[in-house]
Amino acid sequence: MSFRSNLYRGACLALLLSFASATSQAQSSPEGRVQDKNFNTWLMFFSDARLTDRWGLHTEWQWRRSKGVREPLQDFGRIGINFYAGDKAMLTAGYAYALTHPYGDFPAAEKFPEHRLYEQLQLRSEHGPFQVSQRYRLEQRWIQRPQETDFTYTNRARYQIRAVLPLAGPMESLRPGTPYLAAYDEIFVNFGRNVAQNIFDQNRAYGALGYQFTRATAVEVGYLHQLVAQGNGLVFEHNHTLQLSLTFNPDFRASER
């Protein structure tokens, strides 16, 4: 068996282990905890436009649906300013808005909005044929809970590690016309004086097949297992989610040269 075949098998095994780890967290739940299974779809667009050697613009939109695609789940948008600290590091700060609708067997009483500010550091590296990125994000959140007039302020920290494995061409690069495998895991932790029962917020385990059409454009089709602890500390959601994403990262520096 070739070296590349062994790598593919290893990547698939790592992906399965990641899913197994995420889903096992709530299989042996303490007494009183409830497991809520949902089947969702997220349609997503991401863009990091490189404007100069140091500066860029991040834009993002996500249309999240529950019960497949039949009912609304969440409308989500994000914008930010990127600062490129080097070839392997990027800093971002910006704003996000989410409108969450009632969904699942234990829904909120009504839809509710959330405003966020966020700051993050993203690091890239190569490990053999794998392209690895790590993202550290802090969020300041203002949530208007159902049937409340005031916004509640909380803080949240997130850490994501993502790996990409090209399936054709040079193993160390993701060139136009290249299919690839992608996987990530991300954990969310709440903190601050308004956080009581749910310090653990959620975990996301994801695996996908992608295709790099051009240097700027890629699509992915994947599966996400999202384990969410509701604010009451008793209901844990297992959201089995189909994700379809389009990424467009234009580099406008080329037009300046």
Per-residue pLDDT of the chain (257 residues; tens, 9 = 90+): 444 454 444 554 455 445 444 444 444 455 567 889 999 999 999 999 999 999 999 999 999 999 999 999 999 999 999 999 988 999 999 999 999 999 988 888 899 999 999 999 999 998 888 999 999 999 999 999 888 889 999 999 999 999 999 998 766 678 999 999 999 999 999 998 888 777 899 999 999 999 999 999 999 999 999 999 887 778 899 999 999 999 999 999 865 44
Helix, coil or strand: residue 67: coil
Can you give the pTM of this predicted structure? 0.85
Nearest alpha-carbon partner for 243 in 26, 45, 16? 45
Q: Which two tokens stand for residue 180?
A: 């690839």
H or E stretch including 81?
Answer: strand 71-84
Helix, coil or strand: residue 94: strand
Strand partners, 157: 138, 189
CATH architecture of 3-24+39-256: Beta Barrel (2.40)
Nearest alpha-carbon partner for 146 in 232, 17, 23? 232
Nearest alpha-carbon partner for 100 in 138, 62, 73? 73
H or E stretch including 135?
Answer: strand 130-143
For the chain, give every domain's residue range.
3-24+39-256
149-153's contacts with Cβ under 8 Å and 24+ in sequence apart are: 151/115, 152/194, 153/192, 153/194
H-helix segments, 140-190: none
Helix, coil or strand: residue 257: coil
Please, are residues 172 and 200 in contact by the beta-carbon 8 Å criterion?
Answer: no
Query: Within a 13 Å sphere around the CA of 37, how many CA atoms are in the beta-carbon half?
Result: 3
Helix, strand, coil percentages in the chain from 3-state DSSP, rounded to 5? 10, 60, 30
